[in-house]
Chains A and B, each alone.
Chain A
Amino acid sequence: MSDWITYRLVDFLMFSPRVYYRLVERYNHDVWPLQIIFIAGGLFVLMLAVRRKNRAIAFPALAIAWAFCAWQFLWMRYAVINWPVSYAAAAFLLQAGLIVVSIRPAGAPPPAVRLYGGIGLMLLGLIAYPLLAPFAGRSIASAESFGLMPDPTATTTLGAVLALSPKPPWLLLPIPLLWCAVSGLTLWALQDPGAWVPFASIVATLALVLLSRR
């Protein structure tokens, strides 16, 4: 145990920023134009939330996003340079399964604060995330989009389940929140200017859950 306290965050980083962002660029190139299709699917889920429609239609889209991200990015690509991510791939598949089993035909609308806050988080995941790359000083080719990359997928999902579930969706929160923490720490170790965004997703989610319980 005393050994572990001697490690710093950067000691767990086994790849360089250049290798990681080239990996993302090559992935984006390989799967184009799925970015547009996934974002369109995410906007469809957002529209269902805005119109307070049945989440039974929305959740399968989220499950597909998690499963695709687990398979194509985490397992096939990211785990090659960062072997602990193979466990994250399993967790993402589990999250896809949890989303599927959480599908319910109907339910009362959530409290307004959770609905609008959730929509805000979805906008962050669907629209703002792909634009972060240039703001972080990276090429737009390394943009991260919902369904393909884990961070926007987690943020969009947190927003969607908050905005679509009548009660706090406890079952669907742990994995995306845990991923946001892992990703934020990784980006921090990579000295990426966007490292604060996954932490912001965590804070916003917890705040919305707490506020809507009042």
Chain B
Amino acid sequence: MIITRRATVQGLGLGALLPLMPRLALGQPANLVSRPIPSSGELMPVVGLGTWITFNVGDDPVLKDECAAVLAAFFESGGRMVDSSPMYGSSQPTIGYGLRKLRYPERLFSAEKVWISDPTRGTAQIEASRAYWGVETFDLMQVHNLVSWEEHLPALFEMKASGQIRYVGITTSEGRRHREIERVMASEPIDFVQITYNILDREVEERILPLAKEKGIGVIVNRPFRQKRLIRQFEDEPLPAWLDETGALSWAQFLLKFIISHPAVTCAIPATTRVDHVRENLEAATGILPDERSRRRMVDYVEAL
């Protein structure tokens, strides 16, 4: 039996002091490639964790524990950004369950969304999300899929000014409403934009990623694997003979390294239910990243498959 600090404190009759215990010190994380958030300079590891579908497990105790294990592996490997939304079913309470188990790792960067068409109910929704996570404040609050963004953004900027959140962002996915996204990026002082970008969906390279770079807006990339479909599409194909120049060891890392090697990208947020996969994803943020020439080779290679 391993004697834990919790057991020792309780055994000594000092259970009341448990809340004062320092947060769980997770193992020394790997040295992950990190990029500064443009608006603040705060460093962010380039691989985060999405929760769409994967953390929507209801109240199933077995699956909740599996998600908590994914979170534990994510933080142990040095990850920071965890992203969710009120649209994701039970994902928010599942995150809260995992974070409570892990005693709220200090390196958590909480990225949430407001997703409600009635702007007067935005604050209440954010508060409900906060209660599910069990955090004091969110680091980043994004307007999900641009729903009522004209009304939500001023409220989010006020929350940022009063210290209730640290960053403000907007999101879209799968190439939708890019013109509107550009308009918001050009006219509003947002910190982050979240878009879909992967080796086959590269439309954002034309205008949105350069605009983000120009305006100093951080970029979060969702659906890096097209919800697993890219992995399934390529997993039976051989990896290129020149894999060394990408720094990848697997198809998942090949696909992730393509995304995070774009200089405008701040963080990609693949979702998974598996501990080995979350470790593999974070390992993509170690070692070398492909340069521009290798990135072009990567595109040519997968398009020829």
Q: Which A residues have a C-beta under 8 Å from some C-beta of B?
A: 3, 6, 10-11, 13-16, 18-19, 22-23, 26, 77, 80-83
- What's the nearest-Cβ distance from chain A to residue B244, in Å? 35
Asked if residues B63 and A19 are in contact (CB atoms below 8 Å), the reply is yes
Is B175 at the interface (CB under 8 A from chain A)?
yes
Asked if residues A6 and B175 are in contact (CB atoms below 8 Å), the reply is yes
- What's the nearest-Cβ distance from chain B to residue A9, in Å? 13
Q: Considering the complex, give the chain A residue whose CB is closest to the CB of B172.
A: A3
Residues of A within 8 A of B60 (CB): 19, 22-23, 26
Asked if residues B53 and A77 are in contact (CB atoms below 8 Å), the reply is no
Q: Per-position contact with A for B42-61: 1 when CB-CB < 8 Å, else 0?
A: 00000000001110111110
Residues of B within 8 A of A77 (CB): 58
Looking at chain B's contact residues, the main secondary structure is: loop
Is B250 at the interface (CB under 8 A from chain A)?
no
Asked if residues B176 and A3 are in contact (CB atoms below 8 Å), the reply is yes
- What's the nearest-Cβ distance from chain A to residue B23, in Å? 29
Asked if residues A80 and B176 are in contact (CB atoms below 8 Å), the reply is no
Asked if residues B89 and A3 are in contact (CB atoms below 8 Å), the reply is no
Can you report 22 residue pairs joining A to B where beta carbons are below 8 Å apart?
A: A3-B176, A3-B177, A10-B227, A11-B174, A14-B56, A14-B88, A15-B89, A16-B54, A16-B273, A19-B57, A19-B60, A19-B63, A22-B60, A22-B63, A23-B60, A80-B58, A80-B59, A81-B57, A81-B89, A81-B90, A82-B89, A83-B89
- What's the nearest-Cβ distance from chain A to residue B108, in Å? 24
Q: Which of A13, A15, A16, A22 has the most CB of B within 10 A?
A: A15
- What's the nearest-Cβ distance from chain A to residue B11, in Å? 35
- What's the nearest-Cβ distance from chain B to residue A144, in Å? 18
Contact for A16 among B53, B62, B175, B176, CB less than 8 A: B53
- What's the nearest-Cβ distance from chain B to residue A17, in Å? 11
Q: Considering the complex, give the chain B residue whose CB is closest to the CB of A22.
A: B60
- What's the nearest-Cβ distance from chain B to residue A18, in Å? 8
Residues of A within 8 A of B57 (CB): 15, 19, 81
Residues of B within 8 A of A11 (CB): 174
Q: A15-B89, A22-B63 are in contact. Are A81 and B56 (CB under 8 A)?
A: yes
Q: Which B residues have a C-beta under 8 Å from some C-beta of A?
A: 52-54, 56-60, 62-63, 87-90, 174-177, 227, 273
- 7 A-B pairs besides A3-B177, A80-B58 with CB distance below 8 A are A14-B52, A14-B89, A15-B89, A19-B60, A22-B62, A23-B60, A77-B58
Leading 7 A-B pairs by shortest Cβ distance:
A80-B58, A81-B58, A81-B89, A15-B56, A14-B89, A19-B57, A81-B56
Q: How many angstroms between the C-alpha atoms of A10 and B87 in the bound complex? A: 15
Residues of A within 8 A of B176 (CB): 3, 6
Q: How many angstroms between the C-alpha atoms of A14 and B84 in the bound complex? A: 13
Residues of A within 8 A of B90 (CB): 80-81
- What's the nearest-Cβ distance from chain B to residue A161, in Å? 32
Residues of B within 8 A of A15 (CB): 53, 56-57, 89
Q: How many angstroms between the C-alpha atoms of A13 and B52 in the bound complex? A: 10
Q: How many angstroms between the C-alpha atoms of A10 and B90 in the bound complex? A: 18
Residues of B within 8 A of A23 (CB): 58, 60
Q: Considering the complex, give the chain B residue whose CB is closest to the CB of A7.
A: B174
- What's the nearest-Cβ distance from chain B to residue A46, in Å? 33
Q: Considering the complex, give the chain A residue whose CB is closest to the CB of B227.
A: A10
Q: How many angstroms between the C-alpha atoms of A11 and B176 in the bound complex? A: 13
Q: How many angstroms between the C-alpha atoms of A82 and B53 in the bound complex? A: 10
Residues of A within 8 A of B59 (CB): 80
Q: Which of A13, A81, A83 has the most CB of B within 10 A?
A: A81
Residues of A within 8 A of B58 (CB): 19, 23, 77, 80-81
Asked if residues A19 and B56 are in contact (CB atoms below 8 Å), the reply is yes
- What's the nearest-Cβ distance from chain A to residue B91, in Å? 9
Q: Which of B63, B87, B90 has the most CB of A within 10 A?
A: B90
Q: Which of B54, B58, B174 has the most CB of A within 10 A?
A: B58
Residues of A within 8 A of B53 (CB): 13-16
Contact for B89 among A18, A26, A80, CB less than 8 A: A80
Q: How many angstroms between the C-alpha atoms of A110 and B73 in the bound complex? A: 63
- What's the nearest-Cβ distance from chain B to residue A158, in Å? 29
Q: How many angstroms between the C-alpha atoms of A14 and B86 in the bound complex? A: 12
